[in-house]
Structure 1
């Protein structure tokens, strides 16, 4: 009798563990019972849809065409880069912007096979669907900066220039000196150290770790104030009302948006960015990296090491600035002009 009870309990425990670790299916936009489709979307080669939003001057009259890549726990609508950019600067330069929901976010279909290569392909397809020409610019902020690394690796021939704004760093990139990455890693809150360990070593448990109630999970998801600089918190207080509500960000499911983001960003990469070759050997374009020295989310020490390894990157370090460079007044004007008007 005891053996039978034990077997039943074991089966129940395994069933609970499986259910806890296995995410529910996403609620696709436009599906029965799913969120509505409110934004224009393109259909990709694999059948997925990518939602986008256009800004600035028209495509037809633009001198420069830029694809902007949003960061973690946000969407195409939280386009701080343009929101604080003077309209007269946009019109004077003749800049067209398009931002898009990354897979699983907002109104873009999830991609269960998402990689840095597939994300670069999404960007290339978006450019082709919208007729942006043979070459275009890319700007990525925070987690979106990792997609710019993907573009530099996989589609450099399509780029006229690129900018990374406080791009998130993977602590396991092979070329980081162990002592440097370890020191930066342990500057994080303990709960974030564990979140990234799970994403790297046991990605199959990412959903469970970020939904279980026994231990605190990612502080980024709940935006704990300790992870932001004083300037970041001041910016939050002024822009909070204009940010996309979290229920819209993750309306298709947290796993295919936030959790898969962590798995791709901090999992095992297909390449080390520090191995990327200069995409503009004849100075026909430029790559820029902007970083605040008070950023508590992305360690400035690791960014400095990256640009030492890649001297062809124009490095701009902003004193007293935190992670939210995209919302700092006048900063975006400098970022934009450096990308469009400078040559090495």
Structure 2
């Protein structure tokens, strides 16, 4: 379905990357770099493979540092994703590309759009966070207790965060009923990539992700000047919809689509239309 390869960074780190190409390379219209959530590995989104074949989309992705086969980068910020994404794209011979991220992958996708001008053609953030220092946003309002406890622990440092991640049980109330149905159906794949990421306990990548979310991101959201689609469920209890509304008011070329009744995972039922949108807005730039 896809090939895997290791890419070496200048600092000696390994980034484990993935490459899926449509069946007929002649129909390839756009490369989309996928940014995975927390905690996941970077396998391209298998539920979207049929749509990618139909639309002529090549998926490129990688395990963020500290996950799967990628070496850790302690102290990384969200902006560091732009450097790593560019490195992976270079290794695969990709020039211009679009980006798409789900959950914790959303901020990392936006980082690429902000920091790789002229190279990233468009961005989609699904269920993505806003910066922790977002002025006027009650950042934790609407979060389920388990997720809030995790991210508040991150504000107190790595040791406290790791303690909470290790000792606290997963809070199923973070997912609404529609999310649980999605995880039993088309998006069961998410449980698999999360399980692989956490097979040996709390992954370093999860600690580093959470610290990055509540730290300085390393870029301003208003630097994302390419077309950006913010897709969010209005019943999301992992990342409340207020985060998407805040971002929509700051990204110069943002479109906000709120899915009534959808949660953090079930909103992915609209990911296929988001992918088609990305192909449409990227086509002029890709030429």
Same fold (TM > 0.5): yes
CA distance in 1, matches of 2:224, 2:163: 40
| Structure-2 residue corresponding to 1:156 | 117
1:198 maps to which of 146, 153, 170: 153
CA RMSD of aligned residues (A): 2.7
The superposition leaves residues 217-261 of structure 1 with CA deviations (integer Å, 9 ceiling, x where unpaired) of: xx6xx3x32111211010112354773265631357625121111
**1:333 to 2:279 alignment:** no
Query: Matches of 1:64 and 1:245 in 2, distance apart?
Result: 24
Contact persistence 1:104–1:252 (CA under 8 A): no
Looking at structure 1, the residues matched to 193 and 217 of structure 2 have their Cα atoms a distance apart, in angstroms, of: 30
Give the deviation of 1:73 after TM superposition.
1.4
Q: Is 1:313–2:249 an aligned residue pair?
A: no
Alignment-derived partner of residue 187 in structure 1: 142
Q: What is residue 34 of structure 2 aligned with on the other side?
A: 68
Q: Identify the residue that residue 269 of structure 1 maps to in structure 2.
A: 217
**Structure of higher CA gyration radius:** 1
Give 3-state SS (helix, strand or coil) of 2:110's partner. helix
Partners of 2:251 and 2:151 lie apart in 1 by 26
Corresponding residue number in structure 1 for 2:183: 236
- For residues 6 and 158 of structure 2, what CA distance do their matches in structure 1 show? 30
Aligned equivalents of 1:40 and 1:319: distance in 2? Answer: 39
Corresponding position of 1:83: 47
How far, CA to CA, are the matches of 1:241 and 1:292 in structure 2? 19
1:48 paired with 2:3, answer: no
Is the 1:53–1:98 contact (alpha carbons within 8 Å) kept by the matching residues of 2? yes
Q: Is the 8 A contact 1:142 1:168 kept in 2?
A: yes
Offset of residue 204 of structure 1: 4.5
| 8 Å CA contact 2:229, 2:256 repeated in 1 | yes
1:173 aligns with 2:119: no
CA distance in 1: counterparts of 2:217 and 2:224, whole angstroms: 20
Matches of 2:80 and 2:189 in 1, distance apart? Answer: 33
Q: In 1, Cα distance between the equivalents of 2:183 and 2:153?
A: 29
SS in 1 for 2:11: coil
Distance 2:158 2:177 in 1: 33
Rounded to whole Å, the distance in 2 between the matches of 1:138 and 1:234 is 27
Q: Which moved more, 1:314-323 or 1:301-310?
A: 301-310
Count of paired positions? 279
Distance 1:115 1:191, change over 3 A: same
The 8 Å contact of residues 141 and 326 in structure 1, kept in 2 or not, is answered as no
Q: For 1:12-68, what per-residue CA distance to the aligned partner results, in whole angstroms no more than 9, with x for missing partners?
A: xxxxxxxxxxxxxxxxxxxxxxxxxx9421111211111122224169542211111
Which shifted more, 136-145 or 161-170?
161-170
**Structure 2: any 5+ residue segments left out of the alignment?**
none
Q: Quote the offset at 1:121 in angstroms.
A: 0.2
Q: For residues 93 and 191 of structure 1, do their structure 2 counterparts lie closer, same or farther at Cα, with a shift above 3 Å needed?
A: closer
Q: 1:132 matched to which residue of 2?
A: 94
Gaps of 5+ in 1: 1-37, 281-285
Give the equivalent residue in structure 2 for 1:254.
202
Q: For residues 240 and 93 of structure 1, what CA distance do their matches in structure 2 show?
A: 23
TM-score, normalised on structure 2? 0.85
1:77-101 deviation digits (Å, cap 9, x = unpaired): 3x44x4245x3x4334321111211
Contact 2:123 2:228 in 1 (8 A): yes
